[in-house]
Amino acid sequence: MKVLIVGGVAGGASTAARLRRNDENAEIIMLEKGDYVSFANCGLPYYVGKVIKSKEALLLQTPESFYNRFHIDVRVRSEVFSVNYAKKTVSVRNCETGESYIESYDKLVLSPGAKPIIPKIKGMDLKHVFTLRNIPDAFAIEEFIIHNKTKSCAVIGGGFIGLEMAENLKSSGLEVSVIEAGSHVMPSIDTDMAYDVQNYIRSKGIKLYLNSRAQEITNSSVIFENGIEVAADMIIMSIGITPDTEFLKDSHILLGERGEILVNDYMETSVNDIFALGDAVSIKNIISGQRVLIPLASPANKQGRIVADNLCGKNQKYNGSQGTSIIKLFEMTVASTGEKEESLIRNNIPYKKVFTYSSSHAGYYPDGKMMSLKLLFSPLDGKILAVQIVGYDGVDKRIDVLANAVRFGLTVYDLQEMELAYAPPFSSAKDPVNMLGYVASNVLDGKMKVFYLEDISSLPKEAILIDVRTVEEFENGHINGAVNIPLDSLRSCLNALDKNKVIYLTCQIGLRGYIAQRILDQKGYSSFNLSGGYRLYRAAEINKAGLL
C-alpha cells in the first residue's frame, strides 16, 4: 500500500505515525508545502511572547526523526497543487526549485488545514501587517518587532489567536489594542459570559474596541468604518480562518460552501480511497447534529488516528466534535464546550440555563479563586448541551468533566452524583460541577424559578424587586429599584409583603435568592430569582462603562 499524506502537521503527522505502527510495510510519503512538519501551531503565540524560548521546542518531529523512527518519506517545501482521482495521482511542486512532478497513490490523505482569512481592506498588503499560522509567520513577527522596535500593535479579531497574541504582545511590553467587529470577544462563548473577560482584558491595560470593523490600515494606524482611528506600529490580522483547499477545486472531491472538504463519519471524502481530516473538513457537531467547522488540534489529532486505522481496513467512526476549547488570558482561563446559547437559539434547540459562581477549592483553604459557570441543558430531560466557564484556577478541570457530560449524554441529575476527588487544596465536598447539577435540577424540577439579566429592563411595573443581601452589600451597589430585605430577616418581614404581587429576588450570585424563594414559595408568594445575581449584573455594568 502506498499512502500519500498532504499536510505534515497535526492531522497529517498523526495519521502517518499511527499508520506506520499499523503497517510496517506501507509506503508512506508526507507532502508538506511549508518548511516544517509536526510543529506546535498552538505554541506560536507563546513563542512570540518568549514564554517558549527556543525554536526547537516547537518542533515535535523533523523529517529526519520521522524517517529514523517511522521510515516515513517526509518532503517539505512540497506543495500538492492538484489531485487526479481517476489516475490516482497528485501533482507536487517543489517550492525550492519550482519544478513539479507527479506522485501516484493507493490511498490519499488530505490534512491541509486552514489559512488565515485576509479581508479585502486597504492596506492589507503593508509590510507591518501579519497573520499567524506557522513557524515562519512567528519568526517574521518576532523579527519585525526587534528590527523596528515596535511599540504598539493592533490585533484585529478577538478570537483565540487574536487574544493569545494580544496577551503575549502586551506581556512583551507593547501597547495593544484589540479590534473586534462583533459585540463581544471570544465567539465560543455568549455575550453574558464575555463581560468578565472583557473587563479583565481592559484591566490588563489592553484597549478593547467592540462592534468595530477595520476599514483601512495605514502605516501607523487602523481606521474603522465609523471613522475612529487607532494608532499602531504593527497589525495582527486574526479575524478567522478558512479551509486551505484551493488545490482541490478541480479534483472532483466534494467541497462545501466554505471550501471545506466534505467527509462521512469514517473521514472518507466523496472520492474512493481519499480521506480528509482536520481544519479542512466539516464534521458533525454532537449537539446540533449539523456539519460544522471546528478547527482545533484535539479533533485533528484524533481523526488522524482514526484515518490511519481506516486506511488499514478498520471501520472506525469519528463520532463528532463538540468544540471544547480553552484559552489562558494572563491569569484568567476561559473555556467552553457544546453549543452556546446564541447557537442554540439559531438552531432552534430548546434549552434552559443557569449561572453559578464557585470557588476553585474549599473556601477555608487559602488561595481559592472564584469561577463563573453557565450551564445550558435540555428542558425535556436535563441533558447537558453546553457549558462555559470563566475563572482563574481549576477552570480547565471543570470544563473537562463537563465536556464529557456533554459528550456522553449525561443530565443535570448525573452532575449531582459525580463523585469527584475532594481534599481542601483541590475542590469542595460539593464540587462546582455538583453545584451546577443541584442548581440546574432545581430549575428543571420547578423548585427554583429564575429570571435573567436580560429580563431586568422589562420586569412588570407592579413587581417587587427584593435584594436579599446584607445592608452593607446593598449599600455598596444594587439594581435600580430594588428594596433591601436581608435574607436572615425575610421570615420576620413576610407580613409586610403583598401576596398578589410577583416578587423578583436578587442576591450576590443566586444562592441566597434561592433560599429566599424557598421560604416565599412555601408561604404562598410567587417569586423569581435572578440567576447569576448582582454579580453578573455588575459585570455587565462594568463592561458598559468600559466600552470605547
Ligand X SMILES: CC(C)(COP(=O)(O)OP(=O)(O)OC[C@H]1O[C@@H](n2cnc3c(N)ncnc32)[C@H](O)[C@@H]1OP(=O)(O)O)[C@@H](O)C(=O)NCCC(=O)NCCS
Ligand Y SMILES: Cc1cc2nc3c(=O)[nH]c(=O)nc-3n(C[C@H](O)[C@H](O)[C@H](O)COP(=O)(O)OP(=O)(O)OC[C@H]3O[C@@H](n4cnc5c(N)ncnc54)[C@H](O)[C@@H]3O)c2cc1C
Binding-site size for a second copy (CB under 8 A) equals: 84
Residue 200, binding choice from ligand X, a second copy, ligand Y, none, Cβ under 5 to 8 Å by partner class = none
Sites for a second copy among residues 112-151 (CB under 8 A): none
Sites for a second copy among residues 470-529 (CB under 8 A): 487-488, 491, 514-515, 518-519, 522-523
Question: Do residues 340 and 406 touch, judged by C-beta distance below 8 A?
Answer: no
Residue 218, binding choice from a second copy, ligand Y, ligand X, none, Cβ under 5 to 8 Å by partner class = none
Asked if 283 is part of the footprint of a second copy (rule: CB under 8 A), the reply reads: no
Smallest distance from the beta carbon of 297 to a second copy, in angstroms? Answer: 4
Task: Choose between 204 and 302: whose C-beta lies nearer to ligand Y.
Answer: 302
Note if 42 is an active site residue.
yes
What stretch of H or E contains 70?
helix 63-70
Residue nearest to ligand X (CB): 510
The one among 265, 268, 342, 414 contacting a second copy by CB under 8 A: 414
Question: Do residues 484 and 467 touch, judged by C-beta distance below 8 A?
Answer: yes
Q: Where are the beta strands (DSSP E) in 128-260?
A: 129-130, 152-156, 175-179, 207-209, 214-217, 221-224, 229-231, 234-237, 241-243
The one among 2, 27, 51, 312 contacting a second copy by CB under 8 A: 51
Q: Where are the beta strands (DSSP E) in 139-219?
A: 152-156, 175-179, 207-209, 214-217
Residue 80, binding choice from ligand X, ligand Y, a second copy, none, Cβ under 5 to 8 Å by partner class = ligand Y
Task: Choose between 11 and 338: whose C-beta lies nearer to ligand Y.
Answer: 11
- Distance separating alpha carbons of residues 206 and 135, to the nearest angstrom: 26
Residue 209, binding choice from ligand Y, ligand X, a second copy, none, Cβ under 5 to 8 Å by partner class = none
- Could you report how far apart the first and last alpha carbons of the chain are, in Å? 60
Residue with cell 510495510: 25
Asked if 114 is part of the footprint of ligand X (rule: CB under 6 A), the reply reads: no
Residue 487, binding choice from a second copy, ligand Y, ligand X, none, Cβ under 5 to 8 Å by partner class = a second copy
Asked if 38 is part of the footprint of ligand X (rule: CB under 6 A), the reply reads: yes
DSSP lists the bridge partners of residue 115 as 242
| HSE-CB of 166 using CA atoms within 13 angstroms | 33
- Distance separating alpha carbons of residues 309 and 43, to the nearest angstrom: 28
Asked if 404 is part of the footprint of a second copy (rule: CB under 8 A), the reply reads: yes
For residue 155, count CB atoms less than 10 angstroms from its CB and return exposed for 0-12, middle for 13-18, buried for 19 or more.
buried
Pick the stretch among 35-43, 230-238, 346-354, 373-381 that binds a second copy (CB under 8 A).
Answer: 35-43
Sites for ligand X among residues 46-75 (CB under 6 A): 60-61
The one among 52, 439, 482, 490 contacting ligand X by CB under 6 A: 439
Find how far residue 69's CA is from the centre of its chain: 34
Sites for a second copy among residues 300-329 (CB under 8 A): 300-302, 305, 319, 321-322, 324-328
In this structure, the strands spanning 352-359 and 370-377 are antiparallel
Asked if 356 is part of the footprint of ligand X (rule: CB under 6 A), the reply reads: yes
Torsion angle of C-alpha atoms 171, 175, 181, 187, degrees rounded to 10:
10
For residue 49, count CB atoms less than 10 angstroms from its CB and return exposed for 0-12, middle for 13-18, buried for 19 or more.
middle
Q: Which residues bind ligand Y (CB under 6 A)?
A: 6-7, 9-12, 31-34, 41-42, 44-45, 79-80, 111-113, 132-134, 161, 244, 247, 278-280, 295-298, 300, 422-423
Pick the stretch among 5-13, 96-104, 190-198, 247-255 that binds ligand X (CB under 6 A).
Answer: 5-13
Helix crossing, 10-22 with 63-70: angle to 10°?
20
Active-site annotation holder among 42, 153, 312, 507 = 42
Question: Do residues 189 and 324 touch, judged by C-beta distance below 8 A?
Answer: no
The one among 27, 42, 312, 526 contacting a second copy by CB under 8 A: 42
Smallest distance from the beta carbon of 411 to a second copy, in angstroms? Answer: 11
Asked if 386 is part of the footprint of ligand X (rule: CB under 6 A), the reply reads: no
Question: Do residues 9 and 103 touch, judged by C-beta distance below 8 A?
Answer: no
Asked if 111 is part of the footprint of ligand X (rule: CB under 6 A), the reply reads: no
**Residue 378 one-letter amino acid:** S
Sites for ligand X among residues 299-318 (CB under 6 A): 301, 305
Pick the stretch among 9-17, 274-282, 284-292, 329-337 that binds ligand X (CB under 6 A).
Answer: 9-17
In this structure, the strands spanning 214-217 and 221-224 are antiparallel
Question: Do residues 468 and 490 touch, judged by C-beta distance below 8 A?
Answer: yes
Contacting residues toward ligand X, per CB under 6 A: 9-10, 13-14, 17-18, 21, 38, 40-43, 60-61, 297, 301, 305, 356-357, 429-430, 435, 438-439, 442, 509-511, 514
Active-site positions read 42
